[in-house]
Structure 1
């Protein structure tokens, strides 16, 4: 097995794009990261790898520090993953975790645990939903497009969303540029207002290969219970369809039955489960 690391995002995309394009729903996270973040200036460079067997491309992995490695494109065979990790850890010895469809993520984590003697912890278990027939809810207020004037608010809400979702914040210095990047690349960035005040936010990515992913969706605690999250999600979902998306998808936290119920009520249907695991090395292996 030969893991080839790429410094040029264009060369990586030339290989990874068609590979991921065979199943856009399964590889939605990787496709979104490639389209939005590869090539932009970040505090830490992205790590991009393609796995080959006798010259044949059999796997792709991608990490944008400080986030975990995305492994939807890797096989689940333990022997293959052992070879992959041997080579990946040489370039990324501080690998903090793994993210992807549950079976892929756990397969990589199991091999990592055997190799290092470390432990793993599930930081986020989620379910991918795909929009069927949209059924917008009825609530007070209206949707409006976010603007540059809303960046500070969105940065605050993005940080609050992450702390609530996984318990801590990653890459705080990159958040303002990531928010502005959403505007630059044509994402649908929408606020729900009621009484003249923003009360919820949702983002839908610019369609990539006909697919648009909704997220984050965030309603501050003081505004919950009024249907604002459902309403803003429905609004950006319709805007994504209007922009040409044939598949509109989103991830929902399995630990939050309220959000799962809300998304089903407005027309989303489950596709597969996804897992993010955090790696902790034993002191003797650090």
Structure 2
């Protein structure tokens, strides 16, 4: 097998893009990540080919997390060996259970890193939309004057969902990146006060993802997230999107129940594995 590391999405796409386009729902994270411009230096774009036929691909995203759903287990060893040459301190992978477990085992074999299981996310696809009734308030598009609030909410979301360190400056950059990638941010207000936000990603290959959806703790329990997710879903459908998808933390029964109630059905899982380099693990 031949492993290639590509410098940019434009170089990666002709070689490995077909791997992701074959299933836009499953590869929603990868396809949206490839819209990042400019592509960060050193951020991995990897393809695996067998006799010139692409058989696997992996893309690195925010936080140096490597998305490996597109790497079948039989390609994991070759990919791990090549990646260890350029990024031996890879911190984390995410993907379907089969792909992520296969790569994690290969990475441990190649580098000796300690492997720790992380969180599990459920990938949902919208069936028949069933908006909730009786939720107080209404939605609106985000405005320029919302920038400080939305940046703070994004920062809080990353801390809560991924255990990130607070970084308001990075959140501001992330907020601008949403707009630069063609996404929308919707806000739910109650009594004129913003209480919830939701991102709608740009349509790619007939698919659009919603998320993050974030309600500050003091505003939870009123149905705002369900209502705004329904609005975001309808906005995507009205733009001609075929598949509306989103992720939910498998350990959060409330969000999973909410998404099922408004018409989403689980189609896959994503698991995470975190790596500690051998030298660090031995300390």
User: Equivalent residue for 1:83?
Assistant: 78
Deviation for aligned residue 1:236: 0.4
Instruction: Give the 3 Å change call, closer, same or farther, for CA 2–259 of structure 1 in structure 2.
Output: same
Instruction: Give the 3 Å change call, closer, same or farther, for CA 165–48 of structure 1 in structure 2.
Output: same
Deviation for aligned residue 1:169: 3.6
Deviation for aligned residue 1:285: 7.5
User: Equivalent residue for 1:31?
Assistant: 31
Instruction: Give the 3 Å change call, closer, same or farther, for CA 131–108 of structure 1 in structure 2.
Output: same
CA distance in 2 between counterparts of 1:65 and 1:226 reads 31
Q: How many residue pairs align between the two structures?
A: 281
CA distance in 1 between counterparts of 2:189 and 2:131 reads 16
- Note the residue ranges of structure 1 that are not aligned, 5 or more in a row: none
Instruction: Give the 3 Å change call, closer, same or farther, for CA 284–251 of structure 1 in structure 2.
Output: closer
User: Equivalent residue for 2:19?
Assistant: 19
Aligned residue for 1:81, secondary structure, equals helix
Q: 1:133 aligns with which of 128, 132, 148?
A: 128
User: Equivalent residue for 1:104?
Assistant: 99
CA-atom RMSD in angstroms: 1.9
Q: 1:280 aligns with which of 270, 276, 280?
A: 276
Conserved 8 A contact 2:186-2:197: yes
Instruction: Give the 3 Å change call, closer, same or farther, for CA 137–176 of structure 1 in structure 2.
Output: same
Aligned residue for 1:245, secondary structure, equals coil
User: Equivalent residue for 1:147?
Assistant: 143
Deviation for aligned residue 1:225: 0.6
TM normalised by structure 1 equals 0.92
User: Equivalent residue for 1:46?
Assistant: 43
User: Equivalent residue for 1:250?
Assistant: 246
Alignment of 1:183 onto 2:179: yes
Deviation for aligned residue 1:275: 0.9
Q: 2:256 aligns with which of 247, 260, 264?
A: 260
Q: 2:160 aligns with which of 138, 156, 164?
A: 164
Q: 1:229 aligns with which of 221, 225, 229?
A: 225
Deviation for aligned residue 1:243: 1.1
Q: 2:108 aligns with which of 105, 113, 123?
A: 113
CA distance in 1 between counterparts of 2:166 and 2:48 reads 28
Instruction: Give the 3 Å change call, closer, same or farther, for CA 49–247 of structure 1 in structure 2.
Output: same
CA distance in 2 between counterparts of 1:225 and 1:14 reads 46
Q: Which runs of 4+ in 1 moved over 4 A?
A: 170-173
Conserved 8 A contact 1:124-1:165: no
Deviation for aligned residue 1:189: 0.9
Q: Deviations over 1:151-170 (max 9, x none)?
A: 22111111111111122248
TM normalised by structure 2 equals 0.93
Deviation for aligned residue 1:57: 1.3
User: Equivalent residue for 2:90?
Assistant: 95
CA distance in 1 between counterparts of 2:88 and 2:221 reads 44
CA distance in 1 between counterparts of 2:86 and 2:230 reads 42
CA distance in 1 between counterparts of 2:192 and 2:255 reads 25
- Note the residue ranges of structure 2 that are not aligned, 5 or more in a row: none
